Amino acid sequence: MSLTLHGYRYSVYARIVRMICAEKAIGYRWVEVNPFALDLPDSYLALHPFRRVPVLEHDGFVIYETVAISRYLDEAFPGISLQPSAPRDRARLAQIIAIIDAYGYWPMVRQVFAHRVFRPYLGEPADEEQVDAGIAAARKVLAALEALAGDDGYLAGDRLSLADLHAAPMVAYFTMAAEGQAALSAYPRLTAWWGNMSRRPSLTDTDPFA
Ligand SMILES: N[C@@H](CCC(=O)N[C@@H](CS)C(=O)NCC(=O)O)C(=O)O
């Protein structure tokens, strides 16, 4: 069996896939790709025409888009199941992941984390307006997730699912910013959820800043 994950060490989307592999004890070969590089080789663009990471290759089967990769890994490999079976729980899982992708990634990662944490880390200037706009937009996402989260400490259903693993890398980056940490603390269910998720080995073992 050959499994290769093309990803960028700082990518939250690649980290989602790495967390799934960790939770299901799936071994893989990691190929580092910086999607922001201007000189991405044609061989990579043949795998991902939209110049993003991650891409998964499994015995010649190539797939990109994290939602598709996540479901494939959960369904094609043994280990704990990361998708509920009840239709409403499955719908909730899909809804939460869609909210995170459509409304959460940009403000939490590309505005708050990028401008408060990553640019300063690289010695580059931060844009305070981006941080402020990101916090304002992220509050709406956090409020929505707070309202949807389950009673058992997980986002969808009563146990760990792809929804938790999709959210965790983005919340990890968001809360590296003091403003992000403060914003999250206004939401008690999410704060309790994050208290547990932030200690999971699948998250801590994939921390690019550790
Ligand atoms: N819809 C894609 C999004 C992946 C994505 O945006 N990855 C980021 C890194 S976290 C990336 O490759 N960014 C490069 C860019 O924006 O040019 C997925 O779900 O896999």
Distance CA 91, CA 34 (A): 33
Question: Distance, CA 152 to ligand 1 centroid (Å)?
Answer: 31
114 pocket-lining for ligand 1 (C-beta < 6 Å): no
State the pLDDT at residue 56: 99
Residue-averaged pLDDT of the chain: 97
Architecture of the 87-200 domain: Up-down Bundle (1.20)
Scanning the structure block, which residue is given the tokens 């304002």?
Answer: 136
- Cβ 13 under 6 angstroms from ligand 1: yes
Is the CB–ligand 1 distance for residue 110 below 6 Å? no
Instruction: Report the range of poorest mean pLDDT among 28-32, 130-134, 153-157, 181-185.
Output: 153-157
Q: How far is CA 76 from CA 58, 62, 79, 97, 162, in A?
A: 10, 14, 10, 20, 14
**Calpha distance 31→49 (Å, rounded):** 17
Coil, helix or strand at residue 10: coil
**Does the beta carbon of 11 lie inside 6 Å of ligand 1?**
yes
Would the pLDDT of 100 be above 90? Answer: yes
Whether domain 3-76 has CATH 3.40.30.10: yes
Domain limits, the chain: 3-76, 87-200
pLDDT at 151 over 90: no
pLDDT value at 12 more than 90: yes
Alpha carbon nearest to ligand 1 atom 1, residue: 65
- Say if residue 75's pLDDT is above 90: yes
List the beta strands (DSSP E) in the chain. Answer: 3-7, 29-32, 55-58, 61-64
Report how far ligand 1's centroid is from the alpha carbon of 142 (Å): 21
Distance 70 CA to ligand 1 centre (A): 14
Whether the per-residue pLDDT at 150 is higher than 90: the answer is: no
Single-letter amino acid, residue 10: Y
Q: Which two tokens stand for residue 19?
A: 């967390």
Assess whether the region 3-76 and the region 87-200 belong to the same CATH fold: no
